[in-house]
Structures are given as C-alpha cells and as structure tokens.
Amino acid sequence: MKRSFGSGLLIWALLICVFSLPVTAQQIPIDEVTKITVEGNNYVSDFEILNSVQTTVGDQTNQDALRADMQSVYDMGYFSDVNIVFENYQGGLNVIFEVVENPVLKEIKISGNEGLYSRTEILNVLDLDLDTVLNVKKMNQNLKKLQSKMQDDGYILARYHDVNISEAGVLDIQITPGRLDSIEVSGNTKTEDKVVLREMPIEPGDIINIKKIQKGYQRLLRLQYFENINPELERVDSEQNLARLVINLTEGKTGKLNFGGGYSSTDGWIGFIDVSEKNLFGKGQRVGVRWQFGDSTTYSLNFYEPYLWDTDFSFGISVYDKESERTTSDDQDYTKKSRGGSISIGHPLPKDWRTSLRYKAEHVEEYWDDTEETISDDNLRSLTLSFSRDTSDNPFNPRHGTINNLSVEYAGGFLGGGMEFTKFNLDSRRYFPGFKNHALAVRMKLGLSDPREPLAGEEYDLGGSDSLRGYQQSDFDDEIPNNDLLLFNIEYRIPFNDSFTGVIFTDAGNVWDDSDKISLSDLYVGYGLGVRMNTPVGQLRLDYGWDEDNEGRLHFSIGNTF
C-alpha cells in the first residue's frame, strides 16, 4: 500500500482528517493534568514530541489548548495521524498523545528528470535523510524549493507530478518537465522558415526553457530582418504537459541603398554609395557593395553565408581597393593604397562563443604625394584566428551584456608575402543600465605585435572618431613604430527621443614600439560631448573632444563608437 501526497496539496490534505476526529469518544473531561505521555512512537523521541506541547502537568484540561497541542505535534511532520486519549492517574488525568509515525525512508525514486537535473542535484534540494522517519513538513518545503528552482532556471512548465510513500519506505517522486510539441513560424512572407528556426536553440521534443526562447529572440533581433518579433507558448496537451511555440513576425526592409557625404576626422571629406542586402532571397545571406570617394576612396564587395550548406559553418569573402590621403605629424602628405581580399570560415563554440579563421591577401603601397617617392611597397599574407562572444541585449543601443573579441594574426613565414609579424588583439566591451533609460558603455582595446620585419602600414592607428577623441591620427604617426596599443573608452549615453542620443565620454590611450614600455601612467586622455542621430542612412555620430592641452577637435563618423 502507498500513501499519495498528491500534487500541490501533499500531506496537508490530512489535516482535514485530524480536525474531523474527536479528541475522545465523548467530550474532554475537566480535571487536573497529572501526567503527559506519548504512545505509538518508535523512532521519534518522547522528548522531541512533548517539546512541542504547551500543556503542562498541573494545568486544567482545556479543549482548545489540547487541540492546539495535537496540531503542533502533527505539524512536526513525522506523523500520519495524531489523537489524544485520557486515563485516570493519581487523582487526575494522564493525557496520552497517540501517534502514527510515517514510514522510515529507505529509498528515493525520481522519474521524469532526464534532461532537467541530475538525480544528485534533486536530492541535494530535497535534503532528506535515509533510515529516518520521513518528515513530510520538510519534504513539502523542499519540494517547493525544487519547484522554485525549476522556475528560476527557466523551466516554466516543469512541476512535480506525483509524490507517493510506500509502507516499505520507498518515496516515489514523478516530475513532468514540460516539452515542446512543435514550432510554428507566422508572418514571414520572404524569409524562409529554416532561417528563423536555425536561430532558436530549442527544437520539438526538447524540455521548454524560457531562457532558450529568449536567447533565440535575441538572435533573431540581431539579424535585423524583422520589425517585430513576438514568440508565444500555447498549451496543446495538459495531460502530457506539451506546448507549441509560435513565432509571430513582422518583416522589415533588409535591402538598402544609402548615399551621402560628410567629413570624417579619419578620412577627411568623403562621399559614399552603399548598396546592401542582409537577407538575400530570404535565405539569410548578406551581400554588400560600397563606393566611398573623397580624400579616401574605397571600392569593396563582400558576401557572407552564416550557415554554409545548412551546417553550423559560416563562410565569408570580401575584396576591396582602398586609397587614402594622410598627413604626418610634421605636415607631410602621403598616400596609402591597399588592394586585396579575404576568405573566412567560422563555427559556433559552447557558451555563446564563436570562432573563425580568415586568410587575407593584400598589396600595400605608400608614397609621398609631392615626390611620389615610394615609402613602402609590400605584400601581406596572413591567417587570423578569432574568438568572439556577444551577449548584449540590443544591437543598436545595448544596456546589458558584453561583447568580447580576441584574435591572433600571423603573417609571413610559410604563408609568403613580405610582411612578417604576429599580432594579438583584444577588444572587450561591457554595458550597464544607467538612470532611467540611460546606459553606461565601457571598452578596453589591447593590441600587441611581434614584428619580425617592419609592419609597413600594419601599425596600430590611434586618434580620431573611433578611438582617442580629442586627437587625430597624425599626432601618433611616424614618431615611433606603433607596434603596441592600449585604449580605454567610457561613454554615458542619454537618449532624448527615438532619433537623438546625447553622449558624455572619456578616452585614454597610447601606442608604443615595445610592449615592455606599456604603462597606465603613459596614457593620453581625451574627453568631451557627443550626439547620435538616427537617419535613413544609419546612425550619424558627432563628437567634440578636448585633449590634455584643452584644445578641441570635432569628430564626425557613422555608427556607434562601440
């Protein structure tokens, strides 16, 4: 025979039985209590039981007090039944608490927890000792803790289904975790279903976890294919605890034709025409063509396939031709030409990390504008191994999460080319919520290189709108080889409305020719104010920064700094 404690009510249902029993066959006799004893207990001591009783020897019997004592004994959790009887004793009454102990716990069986928690994890939460009388009160409390843990961990449909204890002391706990019956995609007229489904880290048959659904939502949001994404869970079978996930979508524009112009502190006066498609033929592929002209001229073509042949591997290819006019710190003008391309293969890693391997081939030439004398003329062949992780909550204005990128680039050697170096790059960003809808953004960027030959145009750039504001690149050119870089950026972002955001920033950084010389006390500091404006061609950025001599400089660019 098994005792069943049900789902939710558990042993408390037995209280009804306790209150329905008379304390005696007739009414309570009124007399002095001359003795208090316990009968029926084999494992729980008299002392422990009587310690919960308020009535003492010498008291007059009182119906309400004795009922309260009986309830207190029952609430200890060790007994399936409690009663009170009386017998004459030394001119008064012996009050006898008759108890029926719960079975001695010999074994705990758990079923339905596969894919949810290990047996050890559940036992740790239940915290029940074998070879002792089952304490139902403690069991109920810890079952509630287990239910809370499942909810907190994202298993929103999981519950313990049935709890039984046999006369032999075998406790049987059945758990129903709640599984996904199916996934339905609705509202997509261009994007293929598989493009949506592959971003969801949950499949039919899996245990439903709201955190996985939220992660899939974030992935779909980062695609920037949809104006609205609304995932919903619908119950399809209460008995089997099954639900269906419906992803309701409103598709947005994924193709863009942007053109415009302006002044960039890095590239001078520029104009551009940018044609791109983020969701080519609804298959999730990206393609883009860009022409930038002015003081800097660039032609580029790129293509990216995030799931090559429906596998987890990504593939990217790009070609470019860039020519930019630059000025040294002593006002000498020179031109840098770069022509090349790259091919990359990527693959996801655990814990939201991703790795990629890129092969790059480039021809770099630099010459003086006045004499056309060649400064450098070399070929670059390199392999770059990268690791990245993005847990930010918004691709445009994040207020939570981190973005981390770590890469190692090897050039020369067996790859050929005239440049030989190894570069180590770290770019780490973190976002914090500020007052109301404000945000605090922090970045650290570290670059280290081991040049076996002069870097010849592959040095680190510092100064300008994307790094150390209040300075320009020519402030750090040609004095020393910029083999190593350390940069810190802090921004406090204040949205005024959907179109404008104000920024308060502080930057600190420097470049060195040797990593042994890197020092926090050797950093240049810039600070200032900025504004971001959302436009049809993207986010325009205008910053005004001051250097350490309080000389101001205006910076203009497109997109967030970081």
The answer on pLDDT for 266 being more than 60 is no
Structure tokens, 19: 């209150």
pLDDT classification of 263: cutoffs 50, 70, 90: low
- Residue 91 backbone zone (phi > 0: left; psi -120 to 50: alpha; other: beta): left
* Mean pLDDT confidence for 209-221: 94
Contact of 127 with 144, CB cutoff 8 Å: no
Lowest average pLDDT, out of 12-21, 147-156, 248-257, goes to: 12-21
Whole-number pLDDT of residue 270: 72
Final residue in a domain of this structure, among 101, 130, 146: 101
Section 479-494 average pLDDT? 91
Of 477, 465, 467, nearest to 447 (Cα)? 467
Q: Say whether pLDDT at 2 is over 70.
A: no
Q: What is the pTM of this model?
A: 0.76
Task: Check pLDDT > 90 for residue 132.
Answer: yes
231 three-state secondary structure: strand
Same domain, residue pair 121 and 31: no
Label residue 478 by pLDDT band (50, 70, 90): low
Question: Pairing state of beta strands 92-101 and 33-39?
Answer: parallel
User: What are the pLDDT digits (tens) for 362-404?
Assistant: 998 888 888 888 888 889 999 999 999 999 988 778 999 999 9
Residues 425 and 511 placed together within one structural domain of the fold: yes
Residues 227 and 376 in one domain: no
Q: Are residues 17 and 140 in the same domain?
A: no
Distance, first Cα to last Cα, the chain: 67
Q: What pLDDT does 8 receive?
A: 33
166 has pLDDT over 60: yes
Give the residue among 347, 191, 185, 402 at the shortest CA–CA distance from 283: 191
Position 15 confidence tier, pLDDT thresholds 50, 70, 90: very low
Range 38-58 average pLDDT: 95
* pLDDT at residue number 1: 34
pLDDT the model gives residue 21? 39
> What distances in angstroms separate CA 47 from CA 36, 186, 489, one per listed residue?
11, 66, 67
- Answer yes or no: is pLDDT of 4 > 60: no
Q: How far apart are CA 178 and CA 8, in angstroms?
A: 17
Say which amino acid occupies 366: E
The average pLDDT across 93-110 equals: 96
| Alpha-carbon gap, residue 201 to 365, rounded angstroms | 46
Q: Which two tokens stand for residue 459?
A: 């040095």
> Is residue 372 within 8 Å of 392, Cβ to Cβ?
no
In the predicted model, is pLDDT for residue 25 greater than 80?
no
The enclosing domain of 390 has a CATH number of 2.40.160.50
In terms of Cβ atoms closer than 10 Å to its own Cβ (0-12, 13-18, 19+), residue 469 is buried
Q: What is the pLDDT of residue 393?
A: 86
* Helix residue spans in 401-464 (DSSP H): none
300 vs 293: CA distance, rounded Å: 12
Q: Which residues touch 556 (CB under 8 Å, ≥6 apart)?
A: 262, 263, 264, 265, 465, 540, 541, 542, 543
Q: What pLDDT is attached to residue 477?
A: 67
Q: Length of the chain, please? A: 562
Q: How far apart are CA 36 and CA 215, in angstroms?
A: 62
Per-residue model confidence as pLDDT tens digits over 502-523? 999 999 999 999 899 999 999 9
Give yes or no for residue 217 having a pLDDT over 50.
Answer: yes
Of the two residues 138 and 268, the one the predictor is more confident about is: 138
Is residue 287 domain-shared with residue 238, that is, in the same domain? no
CA distance 356 to 316: 10
- pLDDT value of residue 536: 67
Tell me the average pLDDT across 205-233: 94
* Residue 312: both structure tokens together: 């987890």
DSSP collapsed to 3 states, 475-537: HCCCCCCCCEEEEEEEEEEEECCCCEEEEEEEEEEEEECCHHHCCHHHCEEEEEEEEEEEECC
**Do both 214 and 265 map to the same domain?**
no
| Helix/strand number for the chain, H first, E second | 7, 26
Residues spanned by the domain of 170: 107-176
Residue 267's pLDDT is: 56
Shared domain for 279 and 350, answered yes or no, is yes
pLDDT at 45 exceeding the cut of 70: yes
pLDDT band at 329 (very low <50, low <70, confident <90, very high): low
Residue 543 DSSP SS3: strand
Q: Is the domain of 397 the same as that of 498?
A: yes
pLDDT of res. 165: 92
Are 407 and 546 part of one and the same domain? yes
The chain-wide mean pLDDT, for the chain, equals 89
- Is 202 in the same domain as 154? no
What CATH number has the domain bearing residue 116? 3.10.20.310
Q: Give the model's confidence band at 20: pLDDT under 50 very low, under 70 low, under 90 confident, else very high.
A: very low
DSSP string, 70-119: HHHHHTTSSEEEEEEEEEEETTEEEEEEEEEEPPBP-EEEEES-TTT--H
Q: Are 147 and 122 in contact (CB under 8 A)?
A: no
Condensed to tens digits (0 to 9), the pLDDT of residues 429-471 reads: 999 999 989 999 999 999 999 987 666 668 898 998 889 999 9
Amino acid letter, residue 46? D
CA distance 545 to 529: 7
Question: What SS3 state is found at 145?
Answer: helix
Q: Hunting for tokens 């409690």 — which residue is that?
A: 82
Six token digits for residue 335: 């031109």
Looking at 59, 85, 101, the residue that finishes a domain is 101
Give Dmax over CA atoms of the chain in angstroms.
127
Same domain (yes/no): 187, 166? no
How far is 122 from 505, CA to CA, in rounded Å? 49
* Complete DSSP assignment for 200-216: -S--TTSBP-HHHHHHH
Cβ pair 109, 151 in contact under 8 A: no
> pLDDT tens digit string along 397-427?
899 999 999 999 999 999 998 889 999 999 9
Burial 205-243 (b: 16+ CB within 10 A, else e): eebbbbebbebbbbbbbebebbeebebebeeeeeeebbb
Cross-strand bridge partners of residue 259: 273
Beta-carbon-side half-sphere exposure of residue 270 (alpha carbons within 13 Å): 23
Provide the H-helix boundaries in 2-62: 15-20, 46-50
Q: What total number of domains does the chain contain?
A: 4
d(CA 357, CA 470): 35
Residue 171: its pLDDT value, please?
96
Per-residue pLDDT at 517: 92
With b meaning 16 or more CB within 10 Å and e meaning fewer, what string describes 501-518? bebebbbbbbbbeeeeeb
In angstroms, the CA 299 to CA 293 distance is: 9
Question: What letter would DSSP give residue 179?
Answer: E
Q: Which of 36, 70, 101 is the last residue of a domain?
A: 101
Residues 224 and 329 in one domain: no
